[in-house]
Structure formats: C-alpha cells, structure tokens
C-alpha cells in the first residue's frame, strides 16, 4: 500500500549533519550505549488555535524500520575526513534498537506534553531526531489546518486541491494524507489515492473549456464522457450569463434523456458568495435543486466562515495552497529534547534551562494522561506524570497550573487514558497500521470530545496541560540546583 516514495528511497541520510557529528562524538567518548530518553513536544498551536492534530507517525515508523547505512553512505561519510574509522565500521552494521512511544495519529495534542518519546542508546536516540521532527511537524501542521477548514465548512465537504502549490512532491503527497486525517473528503493528488487510499477527486480545468470552440461544446463533451460524475466549471467566461445557462442546457440535453441527474457546478473566481446565490436560484428554477455548487479559489477557514455567514449557497469547497502549505502559519514548532539518562541502574533526569521561560524543558521519563468527565465524555485536562505513576480513577484528583500553582481544581467521576502508545520495543516494530479512513474517523471522534470553547477560532480557551505533583517537585528540584 504505502510503497512509493518513502520506502523506495533510503532516507537514513536525511538528517542534520550535526546528528552525525554528535553520534561520532558519542562513539569516541564512551556514550554510544548510554541509554537516553528524548521527548518531542511543541510549544504553541499554529494560528493561535486551541489544539493541534497528531499526524505523521506512520511515516516515522517506516523510516525507523528501514534505518540502515548503505556502502554509498559510508563512502560519503569517509570522504568528509572527520569521522573515526571505528565509528564508520559501527554504522556499517547499524541496527535500530530503541523503544519508541507516540500519541496515535488523529488525536488532539497540546503544547508542552510529550507526543513522541524515544528511549535507547544515545547515538541512536539522538540520530533519529531530524526525521521524527520532519514527519510529525509537517503532517501535524497540515492535519491541524485542514481540521480548522473542515470545521469552518460546517458539515460541507472540503476537498484538498493543493498539489501544485505544495512545497515539493512529498509535501503534496503526505500533505494530502494529513489533510484527509484532518477531515477532508478527498484530494486532487492522484498518487495519494494510490498510496494511502485518499479518494482522488476532480473534473476539469479552464483549459478544457477553452480548447473547444464554445463553452457549450466543452460542457456537452464532458457530460458525454462522464455522465455519472458531471461537474461543470462555469466561470471561464461569465458565470451567470454563460456558464450556468450552458450547464443547464447540457443537463437537459445530455443527462436527463439518460435518466441521470447532474452532480454539480464549480465556481473558481469572482464574488463567489453572490454568484452562488444567483446560480442556486437559476438551477432551482431549471429543475435542478439537487445539483451541488462547489467553490474554490484561495480559500481558508476565515473566508469560508464569512461566505457562509453571508448566505453563500455552496455545498462543498476545494481548498488549495492555503491548506497544503498552511500559509497563515507554515511552521509547526515541534522540538526534540533530552529528558533523562540511565546511570548506575537508575534514571537521572535532565533539564534545559533558558532565560526564555517557555524554553525550559520538563525533565524525566514521562507519560501523558487525558482525563475525561464520565457524565459528558468531554476532555477535562491532560496530565504529564512520571512514567511509573498511575492516576487512580476511583479517587479525587487535584489538578494545578504548573506555573501558577494556586490555581487548583479537584476532579471526580472521571476516567483517565494514557496517550502515548508503544510502537517500538528494542528496535522491534509493534505499530499496527490502520486504514486511513479509520484514522480520519478517530480524529473526528476525538475532536468531538473537546469543549466548544477549546475548538473556537477566536481566543480559544487554553486547555490545561498539568504536571503531576511528583513531576513538578522533580522539575523544581532541578531548577533550584541549577540556579546561579
């Protein structure tokens, strides 16, 4: 199924060069087999939203399964003239041996909590940083943007139309996958259908209409070729004076005699709100109230929201560059930081301190819990705990703000779910691939567990991501020790 692009290429060397220089240094200074814990997390939600969507895990899995250095890789590294020969011989026989945990794709995620954790030899756990960040940052960004646009459409289908504006071929392919997870109904990117089963959609471009001697002939030819999926692009010349009347004529002359109802028209330019209202009346008056209207042309969640508020008669949307590039905020700021090291049979926490408070990391080997209200099934908060802590659902649990600790709330009648699932153990893959349709449905169900205050676009409520008392104590102990 997912054999193209990623699996046909050895992506081991798709890494920041300093990952290799550090690996060589770890090897030379006796840290090669020191077991470390690294966390991936992000600091803020794109577009100042209330939540993000986890995506890209499956591509991380494929990368880790095929992690190896080819003779060509070794020759290249030897040619740099800076790496120890013993290190290069180690790479020749490299075998991935880490444990990996990840939040499942499609689940809402929030700033500050680990969404991927890697435990393993320092050399290996450090080396995989770049690709983990690349895969999860990119697809989580697009899935999050797509979910915003889909929610703005209020139940109307949203199609991903951005391949030609994506940043590179893999941006188009994996972006379409992520957009589908976020809720899109399909994509214009054919290879994403071939690879992942994202339904490929599309009918005609303006060039089809221009190629014929008249708009009517172009519509007639298309209806004859695709009678059961006849969607006509009506804005090549004039939507109301030419496009819609010619479409209605073809519907009457070509489709109705065959007992086929038209699927729709598409408007790609102009004041689409106004044009859609006029076109809707023309189609209804002609006996085609079931003929849908699709809108495209540089749309995003805010434009779609405004169109619908103004009474646009649009049944579906095709969204291109503003989704596939997340043009309003094209970076998902996930980072990968050391959290702990194993030493003398124990786990030694590690912390990064910065004058920028938001960049101070949370140490220790951790896990993440999501608490749900049993009466409403809505998410209450996430709690980051030490890995061996268990939240007892049978007892009241005290939540507190990690920075403003006087802000406290006791929750009862809740259930607690672990968010991180183990996908590798000692380098052995435990991950179960899920059909993309299943991931998409899971995403929708999980977003539905969030309160409206969290999902709104403007000034969303800040969802609580708290630390357990034990983890908070450990973090503050380290901060006190490191104060100068």
Give Cα separations from 305 to 102, 151, 156, 158, 457 (angstroms).
33, 9, 12, 13, 10
Position 358 scores a pLDDT of: 82
Position 483 scores a pLDDT of: 53
Position 185 scores a pLDDT of: 98
Position 8 scores a pLDDT of: 59
Position 3 scores a pLDDT of: 45
Position 356 scores a pLDDT of: 83
Q: Which two tokens stand for residue 446?
A: 């999980």
The CATH label, of 3.40.1400.10, 3.20.20.140, 3.20.20.70, 3.30.70.20, for the domain at 145-324 is: 3.20.20.70
If 0-12 CB within 10 Å is exposed, 13-18 middle and 19+ buried, where does residue 364 land? buried
Position 1 scores a pLDDT of: 43
Low-confidence ranges of the chain (pLDDT < 50): 1-6, 484
Position 357 scores a pLDDT of: 84
Give Cα separations from 401 to 409, 453, 472, 479 (angstroms).
9, 19, 10, 17
In angstroms, the CA 102 to CA 422 distance is: 7
Annotate 287-307 with b (16+ C-beta within 10 A) or e (fewer): ebeebbbbbbbebbbbbbbeb
Annotate 18-46 with b (16+ C-beta within 10 A) or e (fewer): ebbebbbbbbeeebbebbbbbbbbbeebb
Return the CATH architecture of domain 17-142+330-481: Alpha-Beta Barrel (3.20)
Domain locations in the chain?
Answer: 17-142+330-481, 145-324
Position 4 scores a pLDDT of: 47
């Amino acid at each position: 199924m997912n054999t193209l692009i990623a699996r046909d290429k050895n992506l081991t060397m798709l890494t920041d060069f300093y990952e290799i220089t550090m690996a060589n240094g770890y090897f030379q200074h006796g840290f090669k087999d020191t077991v470390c814990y690294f966390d991936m997390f992000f600091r803020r939600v794109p577009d100042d939203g209330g939540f993000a969507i986890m995506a890209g895990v499956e591509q991380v899995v494929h990368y880790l399964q095929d992690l190896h250095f080819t003779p060509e890789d070794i020759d290249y590294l030897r040619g740099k003239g800076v790496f120890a020969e013993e290190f290069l011989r180690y790479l020749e026989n490299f075998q991935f041996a880490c444990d990996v945990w990840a939040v499942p794709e499609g689940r809402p995620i929030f700033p500050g909590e680990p969404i991927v954790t890697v435990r393993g030899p320092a050399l290996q756990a450090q080396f995989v940083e770049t690709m983990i960040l690349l895969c999860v940052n990119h697809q989580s960004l697009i899935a999050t943007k797509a979910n915003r646009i889909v929610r703005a459409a209020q139940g109307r289908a949203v199609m991903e139309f951005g391949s030609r504006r994506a940043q590179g071929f893999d941006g188009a392919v994996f972006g379409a996958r992520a957009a589908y997870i976020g809720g899109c109904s399909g994509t214009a990117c054919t290879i994403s259908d071939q690879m992942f089963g994202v339904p490929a959609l599309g009918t005609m471009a303006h060039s089809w209409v221009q190629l014929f001697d008249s708009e009517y002939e172009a519509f007639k030819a298309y209806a004859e070729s695709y009678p059961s999926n006849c969607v006509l692009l009506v804005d090549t010349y004039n939507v109301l004076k030419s496009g819609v009347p010619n479409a209605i004529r073809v519907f009457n002359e070509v489709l109705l005699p065959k007992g086929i109802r038209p699927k729709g028209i598409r408007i790609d330019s102009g004041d689409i709100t106004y044009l859609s209202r006029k076109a809707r009346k023309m189609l209804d008056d002609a006996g085609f109230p079931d003929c849908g209207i699709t809108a495209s042309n540089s749309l995003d969640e805010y434009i779609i929201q405004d169109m619908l508020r103004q009474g646009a008669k649009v049944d579906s949307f095709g969204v291109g560059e503003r989704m596939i590039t997340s043009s309003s905020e094209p970076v998902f700021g996930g980072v990968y930081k050391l959290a702990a090291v194993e030493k003398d049979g124990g786990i030694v926490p590690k912390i990064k301190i910065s004058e920028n408070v938001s960049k101070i990391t949370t140490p220790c080997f951790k896990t993440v819990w999501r608490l749900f209200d049993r009466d409403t099934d809505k998410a209450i908060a996430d709690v980051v705990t030490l890995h061996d802590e268990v939240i007892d659902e049978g007892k009241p649990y005290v939540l507190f703000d990690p920075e403003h600790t006087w802000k406290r709330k006791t929750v009862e009648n809740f259930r607690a779910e672990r968010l991180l699932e183990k996908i590798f153990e000692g380098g052995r893959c435990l991950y179960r691939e899920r059909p993309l349709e299943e991931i998409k449905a899971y995403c929708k169900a999980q977003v539905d567990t969030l309160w409206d205050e969290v999902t709104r676009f403007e000034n969303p409520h800040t969802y609580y991501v708290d630390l357990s008392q034990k983890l908070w104590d450990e973090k503050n102990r380290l901060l006190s020790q490191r104060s100068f």
